[in-house]
Structure 1
């Protein structure tokens, strides 16, 4: 590891290629040992995400991971695998296509009903857009749109947040969303009267 970092990109390319291949194979072997097949895509996405992060660390010796790989190789690999698993869980949770709810059929049999999101251009989407257009402040409107899309209030690892997108604090974003919800409840109540 330290040899690649010491030689740098201007060294003997054959030596660098051989060392890089050896380190890449060793990283893959250790990562595959740590990641189970019980994850989505049998853990392949996690394996390659962690592998990519570690290879980048090898090639940037001044980074924290680059320095840690030279001192504590195994621990650094374990931490990157844990980060990749967390990132995959967030990604998998965010990309569930449909929500479901339990229900009972006419004959008394329990069923699971799929709730599909509204299609673009549908009447329901148009009504939501009309309601959102009643919000006077465009920044609060955008904060609420991001909230409806499942964007978190505050920053997290590897995710964009409402606060980051709009350049405000997470507390302010939460206040804006609560204020917008209250305004929309009033608007919806007035529309149904």
Structure 2
């Protein structure tokens, strides 16, 4: 039973050694592709992230090629290498987590940043349109004030002319009434004079 369990464990370890490096190699290339897409969309990505992903891809390619070529030796030396199971598993797990973090840092903010830039551009365009409308309203208001001032001046001048005309008519009426009063006295004087 113990021998079968060790054999199954050895087979699983061999499968891990044959698949994990290739998976991590291709994952590192996915991160590099995402970095390139992010840069095309205008996201600033540190060169250190490129270097780290390339370094991981290079190491995993070497491990994957060496493992595939030397598969027979791995099987034969399985029990000798069993002391490296835990450190290798931890190393691959740490690389997987690190590649996942690199992918998140490159992938997720990029879409948010692009959307935010589009919203800012739309808001700036809207603000520009509003500014133009405000300036247009100020010009219309200034024109309206000039028109109101001109109408007010015209109404004032017309009121003064009307007032002068009314005053002139009042003086003329008064003069006419005065002449009639003078004429009435003369007529009264003539009719009452002794014959």
Which TM-score tier does this pair reach, normalised by the shorter chain? under 0.3
Greater helix content: 2
Q: Which has the larger radius of gyration?
A: 2
Greater strand content: 1
**Highest relative contact order (Cα 8 Å, sep 6+), 1 or 2?**
2
